[in-house]
A and B are shown apart, each in its own frame.
Chain A
Amino acid sequence: SQQGEEDPQALSIQEGENATMNCSYKTSINNLQWYRQNSGRGLVHLILIRSNEREKHSGRLRVTLDTSKKSSSLLITASRAADTASYFCATGASDLPGANSKLTFGKGITLSVRP
């Protein structure tokens, strides 16, 4: 079963606007990650936030994590047409060695940025 669920399923914005995507999850986590997938390609890691962190930045990306609400958001500021892609959140239960070192992915959000 999926751990993370992204919202909305699809988002269409104008270039230059900000894009906000949300992820909710059900069980406790060690970390939460966001990935981007361009059409026909593999997923690309964007950012990781640990359960003891509340906010993290990377370039035009800002990720927040609220463990009390079991939710995360990904904000892309000043969007570009090249940001058009699918975005996935993924949760990790543990970063310890062994059997729990796996990520569970959501179904993804399709972002379209209109030029």
Chain B
Amino acid sequence: DAGITQSPRHKVTETGTPVTLRCHQTENHRYMYWYRQDPGHGLRLIHYSYGVKDTDKGEVSDGYSVSRSKTEDFLLTLESATSSQTSVYFCAIREANYGYTFGSGTRLTVV
């Protein structure tokens, strides 16, 4: 499995502030994804990337942006955090067998 690390693991931030979450992988996987997980909604795709500088929106992309300037890092930015963005955020990479490997998650609280 790919080494995949999310940082930070926990964060509390104030409404209106920008927040950046980082996903780092060590095995040069091309495809990377950001999901959020909320009770009653399961996992919903925010943004994904299919190569350096190649990104696309998922189903809940409003209020989020991403960047992928190198293969190993995929950054998720909340441009101006809102309470509705309180959630657990998961990064994932796609393995050669098409299964996903997930990071341990970032628990974000917006107060």
Contacts and interface: CB of A to CB of B under 8 A. Distances in A.
A2 B99 contact: no
A68 B70 CA distance: 42
Interface residues of B, number: 28
Interface string B27-60: 0001101010000111111001010000010110
Nearest to A102: B48
A41 B104 contact: yes
Contacts of B94: 101
Contacts of A103: 33, 45, 100
A111 B99 CA distance: 22
B74 interface: no
Interface string A34-48: 010000011111001
Interface residues of A, number: 26
19 contacts: A1-B59, A31-B98, A33-B99, A35-B100, A41-B104, A42-B103, A43-B90, A45-B99, A45-B100, A48-B97, A48-B99, A88-B43, A97-B30, A97-B50, A101-B31, A101-B94, A103-B33, A105-B35, A105-B43
Interface string A78-90: 0000000000101
Nearest to A44: B102
B11 to A, nearest CB: 16
Given A2-B42, A88-B43, A98 B50 contact: yes
A99 B31 CA distance: 10
